[in-house]
Structure 1
Amino acid sequence: MDRQALDDGLLLVDLPDDGLTVRFYQILFDRYPAVEPMFRRDNKVQAAMLRTAIVSVLDHLDDGDWLTDNLHALGRRHGDMGVTAEMYDAVGECMIAAMVEIGGGSWTPAMTDAWQEALGVVSALMLDGHRAVATS
């Protein structure tokens, strides 16, 4: 995984007031309106929580145990809320779309590749936790 491209990409698009994650939710709800009712919290609060989660994952990228424990737990909670496995792809798609949009001409294909890989790993770990809910 290209750590530098991840860091550079986040630095480029991490807007004040959780602008990246706010824009992400706008794109998600525009493209996938059926998921919006699943979000009962104020969107600003939800956006702030998502930003914190993204930063935490990047901070622990080299700590496999932390990632596994925390992302499995997060996946279980999402499973309990009714999130389906298909929704993970939509989330990745919309996050990359928000990053590309905000990054504009400074966003690079290497950043897209790195973030797609990272989001894929996050999704896989969360889905492992999610599956634990589905099979119990």
Structure 2
Amino acid sequence: MNRQLLEESLAIVDLPDDGLTLRFYEILFARYPAVQPMFRRDITTQADMLRTAIISVLDHLDNAEWLSSNLGWLGRRHAGMGVTPPMYDAVGECMIAAMAEIGGDAWTSEMSDAWTDALTAVSSMMVDGYPSE
């Protein structure tokens, strides 16, 4: 993963007051309304937690043990809430859409590719944490 590109591109789109993650949820609920009942009506706390999680993952990109442990735990937690592995594709799609929208002309296809790779890796580690049946 290209850590520098991920950090630089996040700096472009990381709006005050969780603007990126709030916009992400707006896009997610518009494109995939079936997932909205999984969330509270007021999404601000969830948006803040998502922003914190994104920054934490970037801060620990070089620490495979931290990533595996924390993302595995997060995956188990999401599994318990009814999140299915295919839902992660929708999350990645909507996050990149929000980033591209906010980034405007400054957003590049290379940034989208880097975030696709990163979000796919995060999703994979989260699903690896799902309980085996």
What TM-score do the two structures reach when normalised by structure 2? 0.97
Q: AA paired with 1:113?
A: D
- Shift, 1:109, TM fit: 1.3
Match of 2:22 in 1: 22
Q: Map 1:25-64 to 2 at 5 A.
A: 25-40=25-40, 42-64=42-64
1:51-130 matches, cutoff 5 A: 51-130=51-130
Runs of 4+ with >3 A deviation: none
- Number of aligned residue pairs: 133
Tell me if the contact between 1:2 and 1:114 (Cα under 8 Å) persists in the aligned partners: yes
| Separation in 1, partners of 2:104, 2:132 | 39
Compute the displacement of 1:77 (Å): 0.2
Distance in 2 (CA, whole Å) between partners of 1:86 and 1:40 is 21
Q: Which moved more, 1:33-42 or 1:110-119?
A: 33-42
Match of 2:99, as an amino acid? Answer: M
Q: Deviations over 1:16-69 (max 9, x none)?
A: 000000000000000000000001262011100000000000000000000000
Structure 1 residue matching 2:88: 3-state secondary structure: helix
Structure 1 residue 104, shift from structure 2 partner: 0.3
- 1: distance between equivalents of 2:35 and 2:62? 32
Structure 1, unaligned stretches of length 5 or more? none
Structure 2: which 5+ residue stretches go unaligned? none
More helix by share: 1
